[in-house]
Structure formats: structure tokens, C-alpha cells
């Protein structure tokens, strides 16, 4: 490319200590979309290097979990499953849940894991957590295929509600992003966060209707319970795919509002602290 001396179109970069509330700079993020692509591509490439069965791990992990849970909770304990076969009831929830837990554990560690990039090259820092929650979408897609197979095996006919599934998946992604933004930014300054994430995931799983149906939660606690966005996600998945547990307006509304608040706060906190990432990391 050629460089003309008085190139008026050349971007002018102003460097100053920033004050006040940071701007969102979504445009900047959009300009770096190829970098997001390459980081996702890198993580996928690296992920199953030096493994024998490779990407089969992506399918095997939730499948083995489902098997164990079905054995323990479905058969031994006899947890109710809204009249559905427990295996399919559980696996329908486990697929978005696996995405979510993988997303926040990758996302939460993402900024610190990319220290070498943060301290050596400029790009909008949001690229990193965004890329880290896109990577496990591949695993999600693979497990989802298995889920479809399972639904067919148990001869469950999905209703038109299946068309709403992308919305519920979007809600899952947004929740994973919101949590990742908080954790990844906090993790830069407080490495305690890295040790906290596994516990958070464990508690969160039992606080979501994954191994049990929403209906076992007493009605007066339902609204509070719905503050957990995964309640909306899981109910949504079960409704869209299995035709059970139709989500009521309030449950969904509260879940969505909860996510939006968490996401807005997360973006704000991330943008606010990213100015000092390179100095603190």
C-alpha cells in the first residue's frame, strides 16, 4: 500500500490517561472481528492436540456426566422428571449447561491466560473474553446433535416451540459472556478468582434446574429462583425441545432482566479496568 504524505484519511490516535466512564467502543471491536476469529481458531486447534480421540472428547464429556447423573439421580434417588424419561430430561439441560460452565471457566481465565498478548500488543481487550466464549460453541453444536438423536430415540416429537430455541441459546451465550467479563477482569488483579470459579460452577449447577425439574421449587420462591438466568435457559430448552415446563412470562422476564444487568455491569467494569491490565497483570 502507498502512504501519501498528507494523508487526511489516516486515523489519528490520541493517547491520554482516560478519565470517567469508558466508552463502549463496539465499533472498535467490530474492526477486530478477524482477530476474534483467529483466537477462536487457535483455541480450537490447540484444544485437542496430542489427544488420541481428539474432538470426541467434546461429545464424551457431557455424555459420561449424563450417564452418571442418570444412574445416581434418575435411577437410584428417583428424582422426578416431569413424566419424561430421565436421561433425555437431564441431557436437554446438560447441553446448554456444559456450554455455560465451559464458557465461564475459559472466559474467567481468558485475560490472564493471554498475558503475553495483553502486555505486548494493542487490540480492544474485549476481544479476549468474547473469543473465549465462542470457542465452546463448537462443543455445544456436537453435543446438540447427540441430543437430537436422543430425542428421536425416545420418539419425542418437538412442537413448533423448537423455533424459539436460538433465543434461549442466545440467552445462554449472553449469560456466559456477562459472567466471563466480570471474572476475567477481576482475575487480573485478584488471582483468588481463578480458584473461586470451580466452586461457583458447582454451586451454580445445583442452583439451576438441571438434575431436577423447576416444579420442585416451592411456588413462593419461584421469582427469586428465576433471578438465576440458567433457570430461564433450562426451562426454555426443555420447553422448546421436549414440550414440557412451559416458561411463564415472569420467569423469563426476570431471567432476561438479570442477564442484561449483569452484562451491562460486566462490560462497564471490564472497560474500566482494562486500562491498567498491562500494568497489573
Binding site for other proteins (CB under 8 A): 1, 3, 5-7, 10-19, 34-35, 37-38, 41-42, 45-46, 49-50, 116-123, 186, 189-193, 268-269, 272, 275-276, 278-279
Minimum CB separation of residue 13 from other proteins in Å reads 4
Q: Which is nearer to other proteins, 42 or 56 (CB)?
A: 42
Report the nearest approach of other proteins to the CB of residue 65 (Å). Answer: 27
Neighbour tally for 16: CB within 10 Å: 5
Nearer residue to other proteins within complex by CB, 40 or 211: 40
CA distance 183 to 197: 8
Closer residue to other proteins (CB): 123 or 204: 123
Q: What residues have CB less than 8 Å from 225, skipping those under 6 apart?
A: 214, 217, 231
Nearer to other proteins, 63 or 268 (CB): 268
Q: Residue 98, CB half-sphere, CA atoms under 13 Å: how many?
A: 26
In sequence order, what are the residues at sequence separation of 6 or more whose Cβ sits closer than 8 angstroms to the Cβ of residue 88? 150, 151, 154, 156, 242
Least separation, in Å, of the C-beta of 198 and other proteins? 16
CB 165 within 8 A of CB 241: yes
Q: How many residues does the chain have?
A: 281
Q: How far is the CB of 107 from other proteins (least distance, A)?
A: 18
What's the min distance (Å) between Cβ of 55 and other proteins?
15
* Residue with smaller CB distance to other proteins, 154 or 190: 190
* Contact assessment for residue 184 and residue 112, using Cβ atoms and an 8 Å cutoff: yes
Amino acid at each position: 500500500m502507498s502512504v501519501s504524505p498528507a494523508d487526511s484519511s489516516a486515523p489519528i490516535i490520541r493517547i491520554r490517561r482516560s478519565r470517567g466512564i469508558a466508552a463502549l467502543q463496539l465499533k472498535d471491536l467490530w474492526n477486530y472481528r478477524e482477530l476474534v476469529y483467529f483466537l477462536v481458531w487457535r483455541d480450537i486447534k490447540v484444544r485437542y492436540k496430542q489427544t488420541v480421540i481428539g474432538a470426541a472428547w467434546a461429545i464424551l464429556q457431557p455424555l459420561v456426566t449424563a450417564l452418571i447423573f442418570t444412574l445416581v439421580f434418575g435411577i437410584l434417588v428417583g428424582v422426578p422428571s416431569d413424566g419424561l424419561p430421565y436421561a433425555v430430561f437431564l441431557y436437554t439441560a446438560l447441553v446448554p449447561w456444559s456450554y455455560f460452565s465451559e464458557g465461564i471457566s475459559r472466559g474467567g481465565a481468558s485475560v490472564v491466560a493471554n498475558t503475553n498478548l495483553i502486555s505486548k500488543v494493542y487490540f480492544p481487550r474485549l476481544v479476549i473474553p468474547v473469543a473465549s466464549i465462542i470457542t465452546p460453541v463448537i462443543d455445544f453444536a456436537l453435543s446438540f446433535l447427540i441430543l437430537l438423536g436422543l430425542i428421536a430415540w425416545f420418539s419425542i416429537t418437538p412442537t413448533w416451540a423448537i423455533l424459539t430455541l436460538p433465543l434461549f441459546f442466545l440467552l445462554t451465550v449472553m449469560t456466559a459472556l456477562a459472567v466471563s467479563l466480570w471474572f476475567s477482569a477481576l482475575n487480573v488483579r485478584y488471582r483468588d478468582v481463578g480458584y473461586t470459579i470451580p466452586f461457583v460452577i458447582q454451586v451454580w449447577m445445583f442452583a439451576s434446574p438441571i438434575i431436577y425439574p423447576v416444579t420442585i421449587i416451592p411456588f413462593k420462591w419461584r421469582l427469586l429462583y428465576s433471578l438465576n438466568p440458567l433457570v430461564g435457559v433450562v426451562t426454555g430448552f426443555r420447553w422448546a425441545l421436549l414440550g414440557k415446563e412451559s416458561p411463564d412470562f415472569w420467569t423469563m422476564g426476570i431471567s432476561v432482566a438479570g442477564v442484561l444487568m449483569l452484562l451491562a455491569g460486566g462490560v462497564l467494569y471490564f472497560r474500566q479496568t482494562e486500562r491498567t491490565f498491562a500494568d497489573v497483570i
